[in-house]
Amino acid sequence: MAQSRPESGQINVPGGLSGVWAIAAGWNYSLALVGTPGFQILNPTWKANTFSVSVASQNGSSYSLQYKSSPADSTWTSLAPVAGNGGILTLSDTSASSAGRFYRVSKQ
C-alpha cells in the first residue's frame, strides 16, 4: 500500500513491503500489487490438429501447456515444459485432433 496523494508520497512503497511490481493510486485509494506478476496468453490458434498459444516468458521460469477434455475432469494433462528465455514462447499441442479440449498454461 502507498499513501493516497502524490504530495503525501503515494508512490513511495512503505518499509517492510517487498515484492511490489505495480502501484496505482486515485483520489483516496492506493493499490500495491505484490508477488509474481501474471502472464498474458497471446495468439491462440487451432489449425491442422495443432493448438498453439504464445506467452511472454521470463528467464529462469518454464512453461507447460496443459489440457483436459472436459471442464469437469479433475486432472490436467501436461505437455513437455519449455524453458523461458525472456522472449515470446510458442507452446503447441500437436495431437489436438479434437476442438473440444480446454487449455491453460502453467508457469513453474
- Grid coordinates 513491503 are at which residue? 17
User: In the numeric block, which cell numbers belong to residue 16?
Assistant: 517492510
**Of the candidates 33, 20, 85, the residue with the CA atom closest to the CA atom of residue 59:** 85
For the chain, which residues make up each domain, given as ranges?
1-36, 41-107
C-alpha R_g of the chain: 19
pLDDT in tens, the chain (108 residues): 333 445 555 555 556 667 776 766 655 556 666 766 677 788 888 888 898 999 999 999 999 999 988 888 889 999 999 999 999 999 999 988 765 788 899 999
pTM: 0.64
**What pLDDT does residue 27 have?**
53
**What pLDDT does residue 1 have?**
35
**What pLDDT does residue 36 have?**
67
